[in-house]
Each structure stands twice: as C-alpha cells, then as structure tokens.
Amino acid sequence: MIEINNLKKEYIEEDTSTLALRGITFSIEQGEFVSIMGPSGSGKSTLLHILSFLDRPTGGSYKFQGKSIDDMTDKELAHVRNKDMGFVFQSFNLLSRLTVYDNVEIPLLYSDIAVSKRKKLIVDAIKSVGLEEKIYTEAGRLSGGQKQRVAIARALVTDPNVIFADEPTGNLDSQSGLQVMEILESLNDKGRTVILVTHETQTAEFADRIIKIKDGMIESDKAIIANRNHRKNLK
C-alpha cells in the first residue's frame, strides 16, 4: 500500500536549512498495524504529514497504492486523502456544539457518496465504536474517551483503506486510552491498515510492527507480532 524510498524533507527559513527527514526507506502492506515512535523533533510528525498527503517530500519517492505522489496534483491528493484515508488526532478536532451524528457526517460532505446512503454509513460508524446511545448528544458534553471514539467513527465513515492515528491516547486517562487502542486493534483485525504515531511504548505495542525514528532517520524497524498474539490470548 505504501512504499517510500530515500524520503527526505528539508525546511528552509531565511538562510537556515533544517533536514527533518534524512533518507527514510520502508514499505507498509495492506492490513498492517504499524507504530511510528520517536522523541520530540525526531521527524515522526513530519513523516506522518507526508504519508497522509498533508505535505510533500523534498527528496526521494513515495508511492501510495502503486502510484507516485509526484504524478498527482494537489487536487488529486486531496481526493485520495478524503476517499482512502481516515484521521484520528490527539486533540479530537470535533465541533463541540454539533452532535455526534453531525461530527461524523463531516467527511461525507466533501465526498461523492450519495446523500441517500449517508445516514446508514454514519449510524454504522457510530455503532462500531459503541456510541449509538449518544448519537444526538452534543460533542462538547462527552468525556475525553467518548470524544476520541467519535473521532474514530468520523475516520471510518468514508470506509478508508488506511487510518492515521496521531497520538490518539495523548489526552486520555489510561482506561479510556486502552478502550481507544482496542477499537483500533479490532479495526485492524477486520483488515484495515492502521498507522499510529505515539511516544508511548505501551500504546505502540498494540501494533504488529514498530518503526523508531531518531534525528530524521530510522533507528529500528521490528515486528512484534508475538507480543500482540500473547495479548489476544489473555482476552
């Protein structure tokens, strides 16, 4: 699904050049659950922005589903992002005065999905995160954990191929964070690709694989399937 080769990102401000990514190479297959870890300033957020089409690299190559992003216009990237990618953020990014239903509907407003089909998609997405009883509750009245589950439902409503989760447990208590990670894990179990950015080892270990970034380079790239299978056996 994702193939990057010698990926670089350079920021230039006045006479100062900063190389945020220094030649990163890896691939991610359809259905993988991958965690990207690294300290502040390591380049992991820059990498996530490029992978999710929110930014472009300044060197190297990036292919998404076999197509180079160099061959795609900004408009084409935006279309693919809305159709094939779902996003979950640390700060939820919900509209507090809108209901759960209305927040989850937002990505559909920018899609080509028929209006007649939208209600079922919205309700199904909300049910998938266990919030059907809150469907017409204003988002501002929800707990942090519930808000993040709404964010996951919003990410799911367009049936994306890949979900990008940027520090999804960062603003949650441990129990709510666990519930959110179990939802992401269950989505991956159903075949959806999940790419998670986190600095928390316990959160990262929900994945099948951990890529550690340091100083804009890959420090390690290891599979941890055995750990995940052990956790499943404990359930």
pLDDT 10s per residue in the chain (235 long)? 999 999 999 998 888 889 999 999 999 999 999 999 998 889 998 999 999 999 999 999 999 999 999 999 999 999 899 889 999 988 889 999 999 999 999 999 988 888 889 999 999 999 999 999 999 999 999 999 999 999 999 999 999 999 999 999 988 999 999 999 999 999 999 899 999 999 888 899 999 999 999 999 999 999 986 555 545 554 5
Indicate which CATH number applies to the domain containing 188.
3.40.50.300
Between CA 154 and CA 141 the distance in angstroms is 17
Q: What is the pTM of this model?
A: 0.89
Number of domains in the chain: 1
* Sequence-separated (6 or more) residues with CB below 8 Å from residue 209: 32, 33, 34, 35, 221, 222, 223, 224, 225
What local confidence, expressed as pLDDT, does residue 193 receive? 96
Q: Which domain holds residue 142?
A: 2-234
Half-sphere exposure at residue 131, Cβ-oriented, CA atoms within 13 angstroms: 31
